[in-house]
Amino acid sequence: MTAIHNDPNPTVVTLSNGMRIVARRTSGLVSYIGVAIGAGSRDERPDSHGLAHFVEHTIFKGTPSRRSWHISNRMESIGGEINAYTSKEETMVYTNAPAGYAPRAVELLADIIRNSIFPQKELEREREVVIEEINSYLDSPAESVYDEFEERIFAGSPLAHNILGSPESVRNLSSADCRAFLDRFYTPANMVAYIVSHDDPQKSIRLMERHFGQLHFPAPLSDRTLPPTCQGFDTRLDRNGHQAHTITGFRLFGRRDPRKYPLMLLNNYLGGPCMNSRLNQEIRDKRGLAYTVDSSIALLSDTGLMQIYFGCDPQAVQKCKRLIRREIERLASDTLSERAFTRIVDQYCGQLIVSSDNRENMAMSLAKSLIYFDEIIDISTTTRRLRDVTPAQLRDMAAQLADAPDCTLTIS
């Protein structure tokens, strides 16, 4: 067991099998424990779309020593929970529980990750649950428009298909498929475990090593490739809806690119969650054209997206698009004053600090930071780098968006 970083807040070690553990001591009444796996829907083979998400659902369905009910009851009986989620590039399996139950949580996580057997009867029941999840998602165009947009902007790559898969692909997934995915990607070198509890970090790490140190699977061979360049599109799908749901977006760089910091500021200023964002002011408050307008960024290992969504009357789509383009071009041509720029930075840094009060999310971020960057990038580091951004860098970022191919999808 070799230490990478060892201070009171947090402690990171690498076990002899290559698995990294991050532990932090907290005075809180809840322990947060989980495992981040560096695999998601992007890592599925063409004939198994939805497999990463299906594994996330069915990993709780049984081990040689526990049935499905025993797994859920193990944490719920003491007021805790065990859960998971899947994204394009990672899966998180996690628990939270009252302080003092860390040994129970760690042993349970290790059991399902090492020993899940994916019983066929349980899979048949859960298959229908996942298909209902897919159908409910398709019934919400404000959500499904994101997947359909990504199908086009990432066309020709595994990033194009949605995380849930289709009813047809999910029906074809078997117990053997699930176990093969687990064996291929849930390996020590491809996982980071985190534990945030009231225990001494060294004690927490010994607990993790006792249960995860026996894993000895080879690291997965990455076969991720950069998606082909998108030449642009402007597509409208008529589905007899009352409202038009539109995304206009841009292909960008990956999460390790230093330009992400001016991008984060630009995204928040342009269409972030606050009512004073530029697009909310121009499209909703001044003109009443849309109830919802926002922008978001999703940076992956080697590529990324900025997406601007708005829902409006079908007749107002083009006007909203022109207003979005105008705001981006204005930011690309005019350098903000130092005073205005400082307000933008202060607002976003303040939002990050407020959001950091969510202890569960911050515990997960410890593991995700190691998976993504091989280091822990905390709030203080992020805010410091944001404050190093200049008005000229934000203007250059806006200019890159202004010059990008037009990629727009509308579902109405």
Quickly list DSSP for 239-250. Answer: ---SSEEEEEEE
Could you tell me if residue 50 is left (phi over 0), alpha (psi between -120 and 50 degrees) or otherwise beta? Answer: left
pLDDT at 106: 97
Residue 124 pLDDT > 70, yes or no?
yes
State the pLDDT at residue 8.
53
Could you give the CA distance from residue 16 to residue 164 in angstroms, rounded to a whole number? 35
pLDDT level of residue 5 (50, 70, 90 thresholds): very low
How many residues make up the chain in this entry? 412
When the pLDDT of each residue in the chain is averaged and rounded to a whole number, the result is 93
What are the beta bridge partners of residue 86? 91
**Is the N-terminal amide bond of 10 cis, ω within 30° of 0?**
yes
pLDDT of the residue at 221: 65
Provide the token pair at 32: 């947060």
Alpha helix positions (H), 272-316: 278-279
Lowest mean pLDDT among 13-22, 217-226, 350-359: 217-226
- pLDDT of 220 reads 66
Answer whether residue 337 shows pLDDT above 80: yes
Per residue in 345-388, pLDDT (tens digit) is 999 999 999 998 899 999 999 999 999 999 999 999 999 999 99
Give the whole-angstrom CA distance, residue 341 versus residue 268.
Answer: 12
Structural domains of the chain ordered from first start: 2-212 (3.30.830.10), 233-411 (3.30.830.10)
* CA–CA separation, 362 and 356 (whole Å): 6
* Alpha carbons 188 and 18: distance in angstroms, whole number: 6
Identity of the amino acid at 320: C
Inter-axis angle of helices 120-138 and 51-58, to 10 degrees? Answer: 120
Ramachandran region of residue 27, left (φ > 0), alpha (ψ -120 to 50) or beta? alpha
Considering only CA atoms, which of 25, 211, 197, 195 is closest in space to residue 98? 197
Cβ(392)–Cβ(335) below 8 Å = yes
* pTM for this entry: 0.92
β-strand pairing of 191-197 with 30-37 = antiparallel
Coil, helix or strand at residue 82: strand
pLDDT band at 4 (very low <50, low <70, confident <90, very high): very low
- Chain center to CA of 363: 14
Given the structure tokens 């040689």, which residue do they identify? 64
Tokens of 143: 């959500």
Measure the CA–CA gap between 107 and 7, rounded to whole angstroms: 26
